Amino acid sequence: MSFKTILVAGASRGIGLAVAEHLASQCDRLLAVSRTESPIGEWVQADLSDLEGVETVAKAIGEDSLDALLYMGGTWETHAFTSQYRFEDCTDADIAQVIAVNLVAPIRLVKALLPALRRSDNPKIVFMGALSGRDNFPGREVANSASKFGLRGVVHSLREELRSQQIGVTVINPGNVGTPEVLADLAADNLSGGEALPLSDLLSIIDCILSLSRATCIKEIDVPAMLGEGA
């Protein structure tokens, strides 16, 4: 595959960094958006939880066409996914930050970048959701689950809004993904949820989505690990 411009939000670590590294050789211009420095691509320093950060990203795109917007950023409450998590102990600031980063930021970013996406011959929007946003998943993290449920609603509505323009919108809902950070936490029993999905499998799914024509609509993809929760 070959693309002109790709933007990866949350590209300084974890899934976002892995996606940026994977796609860097497949495009002429890779914008790596994050608060802390990304070692790959053209780093755009921005905090997407506020409007100023979103405006910074829009200015960085300029008049370029945008072939793919991949929102891989995300955050969660203190002690999330561990036995130490307690909803009653979550601060209001913690809850507000999770909703701002996981739900409000992607809405604002898509709105700001729609002109650039329209200039592409085959534009794609991909959000990183989570199994915790699916019905009846036994997640205890209230703000994180709410944000991931909400992100699915964003995708469904955007798909209807952008259908006539044939801009693809997809949300991927994985369980634990085998980034170095997650594998270390699983090895130390600091995370619940069982086995981790191989990172290479997630990257293959993203490749598939980006390679499809404008005639195809991929709404949601649920990706639990075979031996993990939600399988």
Q: What's the pLDDT at 2?
A: 80
Within the chain, strands assigned E span 3-9, 27-34, 42-45, 68-71, 124-128, 168-174, 220-223
What DSSP string describes 6-70?
EEEESTTSHHHHHHHHHHGGGEEEEEEEESSPPSSSEEEE--TTSHHHHHHHHHHHTT---SEEE
**pTM for the structure as a whole:** 0.91
Rg, C-alpha atoms of the chain: 17
Q: What's the pLDDT at 84?
A: 81
Sign of the four-CA dihedral 175, 9, 221, 100: positive
| Helices and strands, number each (H, E), in the chain | 7, 7
**How far does CA 179 lie from the centroid of its chain?**
14
Can you state the angle between helices 105-118 and 51-61, rounded to 10 degrees? Answer: 20
**How far does CA 60 lie from the centroid of its chain?**
19
pLDDT mean for each 10 residues of the chain (231 residues): 92 94 96 95 95 97 97 82 82 92 96 98 96 85 91 95 96 85 65 75 96 94 83 65
Identify the CATH number of the domain defined by range 3-223. Answer: 3.40.50.720
